[in-house]
């Protein structure tokens, strides 16, 4: 014990091994290197990573708590697969949470924050102006825009819930933007949302974001 009466401790590691393993598996799942519905071969992964099964099991518990992995009794761990009901319910929650956030931002955001959202929207425009439009670039710009709205809103519980839902939505085999023509439709909807934000029209923002998610859900059902 030190003179000040507190215990001396060795420096903590930057992160526990299981957290590093969870990060690696999370990246593989979201990159679809591990496909939704696929069985996770723990022994093979342990051999590839040069680790024991203990950190692997702890990592899988973390991913299960995030919803990315489903643990099945006596069958092991599987990458979570989104059912039609899962997708529908996720869209419904996102619609409610994000439309409310947009309405709050329209009223309370600073002019500089609204200008920032306008600039983020421009990345969506640019993604579709390329000779060969990039769906991946559109995905990334779309997510940055939506998450920035939530950050400006400042409700940390809403941000956490939406972040978890959006992570799970990446497991959806029939993402709304996969449907032919949906990228252009989504861009047009974003234009209307940004216009309403810049006009500080909370009522329009709420309605437009709800419609945006409703159209997205319809597109996933068409794509499937």
pLDDT of residue 178: 67
Q: Domain boundary at 79, 103, 129, which? A: 79
Sorted by sequence, the CB contacts under 8 Å of residue 167 that are 6+ apart come out as: 30, 66, 67, 68
**Domain encompassing residue 141:** 84-223
Kindly state whether residues 37 and 75 are assigned to the same domain: yes
The predicted model scores a pTM of 0.79
Kindly state whether residues 104 and 73 are assigned to the same domain: no
User: Residue 134's pLDDT band (boundaries 50, 70, 90)?
Assistant: confident
9, pLDDT greater than 70: no
Kindly state whether residues 145 and 192 are assigned to the same domain: yes
Kindly state whether residues 71 and 28 are assigned to the same domain: yes
Burial class (CB in 10 A: 0-12, 13-18, 19+), 43: exposed
Q: Report the percent of the chain where pLDDT is more than 70.
A: 89
- Domain CATH for 72: 1.10.10.10
> For the segment 148-164, what is each residue's pLDDT rounded down to a tens digit?
999 999 999 999 999 98
Kindly state whether residues 188 and 130 are assigned to the same domain: yes
Of 25 and 4, more confident: 25
Kindly state whether residues 72 and 99 are assigned to the same domain: no
10, pLDDT greater than 50: no
Kindly state whether residues 66 and 88 are assigned to the same domain: no
Kindly state whether residues 93 and 135 are assigned to the same domain: yes
Query: Is residue 5 a part of any domain in this protein?
Result: no
Kindly state whether residues 62 and 27 are assigned to the same domain: yes
13, pLDDT greater than 60: no
Least confident of 53-57, 139-143, 178-182, 185-189: 178-182
Kindly state whether residues 134 and 35 are assigned to the same domain: no
Alpha carbon distance 154, 146 (integer Å): 13
Q: Which backbone phi and psi does 39 adopt, to 5 degrees?
A: -75, 140
């Amino acid at each position: 014990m030190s003179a000040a009466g507190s215990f001396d401790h060795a420096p903590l590691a930057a992160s526990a091994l299981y957290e590093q393993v969870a990060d690696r598996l999370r990246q593989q799942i979201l990159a679809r290197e591990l496909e939704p519905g696929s069985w996770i071969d723990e022994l093979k992964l342990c051999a590839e990573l040069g680790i024991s099964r203990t950190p692997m099991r702890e990592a899988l518990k973390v991913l299960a708590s995030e919803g990315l992995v489903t643990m099945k009794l006596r069958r092991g761990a599987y990458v979570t697969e989104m059912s039609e009901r899962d997708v529908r319910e996720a869209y419904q929650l996102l619609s409610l949470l994000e439309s409310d956030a947009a309405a709050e931002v329209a009223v309370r955001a600073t002019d500089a924050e609204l200008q920032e959202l306008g600039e983020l929207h421009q990345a969506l425009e640019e993604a579709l102006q390329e000779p060969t439009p990039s769906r991946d670039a559109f995905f990334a710009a779309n997510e940055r825009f939506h998450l920035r709205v939530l950050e400006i809103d400042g409700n940390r519980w809403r941000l956490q819930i939406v972040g978890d839902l959006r992570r799970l939505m990446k497991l959806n085999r029939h993402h709304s933007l996969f449907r032919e023509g949906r990228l252009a439709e989504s861009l047009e909807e974003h234009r209307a949302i940004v216009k309403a934000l810049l006009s500080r029209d909370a009522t329009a923002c709420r309605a437009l974001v709800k419609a945006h998610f409703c159209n997205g859900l319809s597109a996933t059902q068409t794509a499937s």
